Structure 1
Amino acid sequence: MKPTIKLALVLNLFLGLNLAANAQTPAAATQSTELKYRRSSLHLILLESEDFPRKDVVIKAYHEAPFPDKYNNHEIAVKGVNPTSYLLTDAEKVTAGTKKTGMSALGANLLSGATAGIVDKDAGDMPIVTDKIVKDKKVANQLVAKWFNRQADGSFDMKLVGERGSYDATEMQANIAKGSARGTSSLSDAGEELIGNTFVVLTKLKFISNEPIAAAIREVAKLKAGSLPAMFQPAAYKLLDMAYNKAKEGYSVWTTSYLYKLKWNDSTAAIFYNDMWIDKGAKIDKKRIAAFDNSNLFQMQYIGSEKSSSLVTFSLKETRTEDQVVELATVRNVEHVFAKLQKTYEVFKPKTPIYSGEPVTAKIGMKEGLEGGEKFEVLEQTVDPKTRLTAYVKKGTVTVDKKQIWDNRFNAGEEVSTGDNKDKDKKDKDKPVIDRTYFKGGGKFYAGMLLRQIK
């Protein structure tokens, strides 16, 4: 079969864009218990590195934590990687501009040495290290293979794309032979709406004693204080000791996450369909199989990173074991990092369906970082009549009611201090017991419309 004919057939498999399954009309019920909408897709990778206290508990908690429910689980084979196998050489650090010199190098080395490596002096290199990981593991290729249900014989199908995009399979099949422009537009729609919104988050975890960190920070600060006039030094040292005594108590969970997005466009899609696609049941084509396996066509784009820390004092030991306290802190900390990634990077913000229209409610809450007063735009999903692509039309805005925020965090009701934003989570008894978050403001909004946070 000629490549151009092959491409035409594959394009037509996307015919029949069906948005009716994704949204309800105003005449429909004002509340929905099961809303289907197009979500971004996500895969998680754990950066398993050096040893640290209670590592087995922390890692187990990470793997058993609930998957972020505003994304489709796009799991591939690469689930854990040891980043020490990808550390940069000095030459690579110089090229990347991450190699420290002078006093910066002295401070970083002192801090890392004094804490037996707890403070990572090479933390600035990690985005380059994660770049090497995703390229070496061909993460992008694996994500694409997942999207098109690649089999051992190298064949693909559109089943997953159809399921996640609510494309009408019957209409797709009926239009295979038509060769209409609608097929091309449906393919572009799927690429932009679904495949192009595929993300990978690589996460690094640590559980550490606060004392050596506090002591190391004090020593570095004393070096600087030593340059002050002699008359000011005693007071400076006293303040540093007071800060040390306050900071040394307990343990901390540290989480750093690195966000990547799959690059996907029309030209990438065309090469894939023309040069690598194999129909199910077709004769095995070793050339096309090798073309996909060895291709560097598929790439990941680095978006950015976020950090979070949670203080662990074992104050919950009356009701939980120490391991359970560590588990709670670990999962809450990972949830907090995800909330920060969503707020910081527009492209990673999930859309959330309205659960009820009068009043407006949605199944999001404290796990997504809501505190009250955040603004969300209300979107209605439509089809552009000219391009046949999915479009989102803004219908208004709503604001989170700070008195009615759903505590949907892991094991809600238990206290964990999140040190990076200097606030403390509150227990359930301080908030009304609800199973959704309420919003102020409104209009002719109904269940199935979508909410997206705005700055």
Structure 2
Amino acid sequence: MKKYFFRNLTLITFTLLSSYSMNAQVRQQVSTNYDRNSLSVLMLDAGDPYSVQLSKLMDSLKIPEKYFDNSLNISTVPIRVDRAKIAETDSYRKIVPQEQVFEALKQSKVANLAIANWFDRKEDGSFGVKTLAERGVYNATDNDMLVATASKRGTAGLMDMGMGLVDKSYFIVLDFAEILSMSEQYERDSIPADQRTMNGFQGKVNSYVYKLDFSEPVAARFFQDLWISGESDNKEAKRALFDQTDFPLVYINTFSEAVSSTQLNPGQKGAPAVQRSSEEMLESLMDMAYENSLLKLENTTDEFRVKGMVHDVNPIAVKIGRKEGLKFDQRYFVYENRQDRNGNVYSKRKGVIRSMSVADNRTLADGESEPSLFYQVAGGQIDNMGMFVEQKNASGINLFAGYTEGGLSGGGLRLEILLSPFLYEGFAKSGPAKGMTGWKIYLEGAYGNQEFLYDDGLAKFGFYRGSLGISKEIYLTRNVFLDPFVGYGLEGGSPPEDTGESFDSQFIEIGSRLGINIMHNVQLMPAVNLYAIVKSEYLETKESEPIKITYADQFDGRGGAGLSLGLRFMF
């Protein structure tokens, strides 16, 4: 088993390095521009089951602070959809053609409603610029403020920045294409009555994303032909013309995913003492679909990824914070723009950083805003001579595959989940908190076989073990870190013959891994482990009474210190 593991480990490492070398040759320029987008969230209403209940819950969806809230006075968009016909060609996702969604949005005049929000349209059809000016000032950075105060117009010039933000108005349109209650799903799949243990909802949700096109030609026509103020002529004609105008929308993307919100039925082991209502579970399902759509939008759309200049080093500081939706221990890439021999500008990644403080900058910029602080987890030296950062979301989930020799030997997998953001929001909430970075909870499972005396001869026992614990990354250099851990686990051993016998133990594990970056999201990790057996039992059969034993007497040399080696993949 060891031979195959280390052979595969070498092959995987070589493949990763080759892939990294090939990808490093792709040269692209990363935009340094970032402005706040505005969001409107809508739901397609095709008269599907649960449409009425879901539409009543739309007001519960909140626009994150990272965006301007451009909520409209409608929350649903009627659409005529032949679900059965769509399923003939797209049985899994059931995506409505984007042209059909576009037509439904046009009929509901969502673009007009968004523009009316931006320009404070009143009942008489007249417009104003209060919202536009306020958003322009709020969007300004410290650098914008310093430039503005040095100009003749002063900070009044910042209000003009709001005009460019109108073109950054986005619409997320949720389509609950197929939602079934668990009872309906059990009936559809003919699940036996004794296996119908859950209640709640499951289904598929498609999210269609569009952007308002308020480019210069569109804006020019709006101000020339449709703008109404106190002194305007032909107010009624312009008002009617605005209502009749179809402002253009641009299709951005479609996201699809399965969602569920379920709970165990009363009487089932582990069922909640107080059952959530159907409305609460539908609301949870809707929240999940909405939040996942936003995450996918950030991951796939450049305009939704936060960017900022490196303001300082030692520690690394960037003037972004809660206003930009920054989270604790969130990942950012650091870039530097360079020029090739042909004069083409490209961006070279210089490092990877994570936040260790989140500045509360939800105020107007004054030129002296507090920066958020970061620590480096990969790459080379970072400076503040033109380098910039870009948001690169990570899932906070890591997977380690390795082999342990000695101790409780065997090959295993470790799943890690980042805890730091929850610790920070629960305890610190503000200020630097380097001690809270890199905390993870892990779940590990392993299997190994080893020869021991059994029935006056040697027999190869199989050992299964699992453990739960916590660990903390401590960076020694930019690309090397310690990862001490402590956990509690169970191990079961059985002889090769199916005799029904089993040897069960409980253990405490402590140790430390050394992380060495191969890539920013892949590490080679040797480790020292110590396993302390705290309880052991022997069962002749599953029904027999357990007999306490001494593990070391039964399995001489199993337990104690061990060494391991493996790869960790960060997602």
Alignment check: 8 A CA contact 1:214 1:247 kept: no
Equivalent-residue separation in structure 1 for 2:259 and 2:418 (angstroms) = 16
Deviation (angstroms), 1:399: 7.5
Larger relative helix fraction: 1
Alignment check: 8 A CA contact 1:343 1:349 kept: yes
Unaligned runs of 5+ in 2: 1-33, 140-151, 265-270, 337-364, 366-385, 398-414, 439-474, 476-570
Equivalent-residue separation in structure 1 for 2:69 and 2:239 (angstroms) = 26
Alignment check: 8 A CA contact 1:278 1:285 kept: yes
1:22 maps to none
Alignment check: 8 A CA contact 1:57 1:327 kept: no
Matched, 1:69 2:65: yes
Alignment check: 8 A CA contact 2:328 2:420 kept: no
Equivalent-residue separation in structure 1 for 2:57 and 2:256 (angstroms) = 18
1:341 maps to 297
Alignment check: 8 A CA contact 2:121 2:127 kept: yes
Larger relative strand fraction: 2
Matched, 1:48 2:45: yes
Q: Tell me: higher relative CO, structure 1 or 2? Use CA pairs within 8 A at least 6 residues apart.
A: 1
Alignment check: 8 A CA contact 1:45 1:79 kept: yes
DSSP-derived class of the 2:167 partner? helix
For residues 331 and 373 of structure 1, do their structure 2 counterparts lie closer, same or farther at Cα, with a shift above 3 Å needed?
closer
1:251-400 equivalences under 5 Å are: 251-280=201-230, 282=232, 285-296=235-246, 298-315=247-264, 317-323=272-278, 324-349=280-305, 362-363=321-322, 374-376=331-333, 395-396=388-389
When the two chains are superposed, the root-mean-square deviation of aligned CA atoms in Å is 5.4
Alignment check: 8 A CA contact 2:261 2:284 kept: no
1:13-412 equivalences under 5 Å are: 39-52=36-49, 58-84=54-80, 87=81, 105=88, 123-166=94-137, 189-192=161-164, 194-205=165-176, 206-209=178-181, 251-280=201-230, 282=232, 285-296=235-246, 298-315=247-264, 317-323=272-278, 324-349=280-305, 362-363=321-322, 374-376=331-333, 395-396=388-389
Alignment check: 8 A CA contact 2:309 2:389 kept: no
Alignment check: 8 A CA contact 1:305 1:341 kept: no
Equivalent-residue separation in structure 2 for 1:343 and 1:70 (angstroms) = 15
1:172 maps to none
User: TM-score of the superposition, structure 1-length normalised?
Assistant: 0.53
Equivalent-residue separation in structure 2 for 1:307 and 1:129 (angstroms) = 17
User: How far does the alpha carbon of each residue in 1:84-114 deviate from its partner, in whole angstroms, 9 at most, with x for none?
Assistant: 2xx4799xxxxxxxx88xxx94x86xx6xxx
Equivalent-residue separation in structure 2 for 1:303 and 1:400 (angstroms) = 20
Deviation (angstroms), 1:378: 8.6
Q: Which amino acid aligns with 1:303?
A: I
For residues 266 and 330 of structure 1, do their structure 2 counterparts lie closer, same or farther at Cα, with a shift above 3 Å needed?
closer
Equivalent-residue separation in structure 2 for 1:143 and 1:248 (angstroms) = 41
For residues 425 and 299 of structure 1, do their structure 2 counterparts lie closer, same or farther at Cα, with a shift above 3 Å needed?
farther
For residues 181 and 134 of structure 1, do their structure 2 counterparts lie closer, same or farther at Cα, with a shift above 3 Å needed?
farther
User: How far does the alpha carbon of each residue in 1:176-225 deviate from its partner, in whole angstroms, 9 at most, with x for none?
Assistant: xxxx9999x98985433x1110111111225314687699899xxxxxxx
Alignment check: 8 A CA contact 2:136 2:158 kept: no
Equivalent-residue separation in structure 1 for 2:421 and 2:241 (angstroms) = 59
For residues 254 and 335 of structure 1, do their structure 2 counterparts lie closer, same or farther at Cα, with a shift above 3 Å needed?
same
Equivalent-residue separation in structure 1 for 2:197 and 2:328 (angstroms) = 26
For residues 401 and 428 of structure 1, do their structure 2 counterparts lie closer, same or farther at Cα, with a shift above 3 Å needed?
closer
Equivalent-residue separation in structure 1 for 2:208 and 2:138 (angstroms) = 32
User: TM-score of the superposition, structure 2-length normalised?
Assistant: 0.43
For residues 167 and 200 of structure 1, do their structure 2 counterparts lie closer, same or farther at Cα, with a shift above 3 Å needed?
closer
Alignment check: 8 A CA contact 2:308 2:390 kept: no
For residues 326 and 292 of structure 1, do their structure 2 counterparts lie closer, same or farther at Cα, with a shift above 3 Å needed?
closer
For residues 288 and 364 of structure 1, do their structure 2 counterparts lie closer, same or farther at Cα, with a shift above 3 Å needed?
closer
Equivalent-residue separation in structure 2 for 1:342 and 1:301 (angstroms) = 17
Q: Which amino acid aligns with 2:423?
A: P
DSSP-derived class of the 2:263 partner? coil
Q: Which amino acid aligns with 1:269?
A: A
Count of residues in correspondence between the two structures:
311
DSSP-derived class of the 2:423 partner? coil
Q: Which amino acid aligns with 2:276?
A: T
Identity %: 19
1:230 maps to none
Alignment check: 8 A CA contact 1:262 1:300 kept: yes
For residues 162 and 428 of structure 1, do their structure 2 counterparts lie closer, same or farther at Cα, with a shift above 3 Å needed?
same
For residues 317 and 253 of structure 1, do their structure 2 counterparts lie closer, same or farther at Cα, with a shift above 3 Å needed?
farther
For residues 402 and 144 of structure 1, do their structure 2 counterparts lie closer, same or farther at Cα, with a shift above 3 Å needed?
closer
Equivalent-residue separation in structure 2 for 1:195 and 1:78 (angstroms) = 19
Equivalent-residue separation in structure 1 for 2:416 and 2:183 (angstroms) = 23
Alignment check: 8 A CA contact 1:312 1:329 kept: yes
Alignment check: 8 A CA contact 2:43 2:75 kept: yes
For residues 88 and 377 of structure 1, do their structure 2 counterparts lie closer, same or farther at Cα, with a shift above 3 Å needed?
farther
Q: Which amino acid aligns with 2:78?
A: N
Alignment check: 8 A CA contact 1:199 1:261 kept: yes
Deviation (angstroms), 1:295: 2.5
Deviation (angstroms), 1:82: 2.4
Unaligned runs of 5+ in 1: 1-36, 91-98, 112-118, 169-179, 219-240, 382-392, 405-423, 442-454
